[in-house]
């Protein structure tokens, strides 16, 4: 009986406290939040940079003119999908979602500062003008946010064997939702909804296949924590 009680008290002592678990959870967030924030900044800075490589794709003109609305900013968006998938692989959906929320809150604070603060002291006029374009900011924020959330949910639901199922299906569903919602809200880009959506969906499929290759190459370096195997 004494030995049993000793084992019981020993196991209780070894159990990490709630505070330690919370601190560990915050530690898991540092790298993905920084990566997501960096990709968001990169996408904003390259928002008007044309993607010349798309000119080589066999897409009909003038349905898809590279640089007319699809820019390097959209390419950075796919980087966000890859980051949340790798985060989900390593730490699970809770960490991936929390990292996305924190990075999104940071972006929202920058937007609020540019819109309601004294942003002219630190930011150039052209940056302030882009941040205060409410139609485009709303289109990007809602479409990318909802697409990434759907991606995280799908990834968590289908993760397992075979390994490629989650990183393939998640960005396909999330990317399709992002493209569909973006072109619905950003109606000022010119052309009809379907003229912009269809080629964008083609790019989503191509980007998903490329992300799958990158994901596979990183699997040996980014291994799942206990309980998150399979994907």
| Whether the Cβ atoms of residue 137 and residue 131 lie closer than 8 Å to each other | yes
Q: What pLDDT score does 225 carry?
A: 81
- Give this prediction's pTM: 0.85
**What residues pair up with 50 in beta bridges, in sequence order?**
71
E strands in 44-160? none
Instruction: Please name the helix (run of DSSP H) or strand (run of DSSP E) that holds residue 86, with its range, or none.
Output: helix 72-91
Residue 121 buriedness (CB in 10 A; 0-12 / 13-18 / 19+): exposed
Dihedral angle of Cα 48, 103, 169, 161, to the nearest 10 degrees? 140
pLDDT tens digits in sequence order for the chain, 231 residues long = 444 444 444 454 566 688 888 888 888 899 999 999 999 999 998 888 877 665 555 555 544 554 567 888 889 999 999 999 999 999 999 999 999 999 999 999 998 888 887 767 677 888 878 888 888 999 999 999 999 999 999 999 999 889 999 999 999 999 999 999 999 998 777 777 888 888 889 999 999 999 999 999 999 999 988 776 666
Residue in 171, 143, 168, 200 with CA at minimum distance from that of residue 84: 171
**What residues pair up with 175 in beta bridges, in sequence order?**
none
Measured CA distances, 118 to 112, 126, 128, 137, 142 (Å):
10, 15, 10, 19, 25
**What residues pair up with 71 in beta bridges, in sequence order?**
50
Q: Is the peptide bond before 62 cis (omega within 30 degrees of 0)?
A: yes
Whole-angstrom distance, CA of residue 71 vs CA of residue 203: 12
| Phi, psi of 69, rounded to the nearest 5 degrees | -145, -25
CA-based radius of gyration for the chain: 21
> What is the Cβ-side half-sphere exposure of residue 195, based on CA atoms within 13 angstroms?
13
Q: What pLDDT score does 229 carry?
A: 66
Q: What pLDDT score does 57 carry?
A: 53
């Amino acid at each position: 009986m004494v030995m049993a009680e000793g084992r019981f008290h020993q196991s209780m002592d070894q159990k990490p406290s709630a505070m330690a678990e919370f601190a560990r959870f915050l530690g898991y967030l540092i790298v993905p939040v920084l990566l997501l924030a960096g990709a968001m900044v990169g996408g904003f800075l390259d928002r008007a940079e044309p993607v010349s490589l798309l000119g080589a794709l066999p897409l009909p003109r003038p349905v898809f003119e590279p640089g007319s609305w699809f820019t390097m900013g959209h390419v950075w968006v796919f980087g966000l999908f890859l980051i949340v998938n790798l985060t989900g692989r390593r730490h699970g959906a809770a960490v991936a979602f929390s990292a996305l929320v924190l990075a999104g809150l940071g972006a929202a604070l920058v937007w609020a500062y540019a819109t309601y603060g004294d942003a002219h002291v630190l930011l150039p006029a052209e940056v302030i003008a882009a941040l205060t374009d409410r139609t485009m900011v709303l289109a990007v924020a809602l479409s990318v946010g909802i697409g990434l959330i759907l991606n995280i949910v799908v990834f968590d639901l289908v993760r397992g064997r075979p390994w490629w199922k989650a990183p393939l299906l998640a960005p396909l569903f999330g990317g399709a939702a992002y493209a569909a919602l973006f072109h619905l809200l950003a109606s000022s880009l010119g052309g009809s909804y379907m003229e912009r959506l269809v080629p964008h969906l083609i790019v989503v499929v191509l980007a998903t296949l490329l992300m799958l290759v990158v994901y596979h190459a990183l699997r040996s370096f980014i291994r799942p924590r206990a309980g998150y195997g399979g994907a």
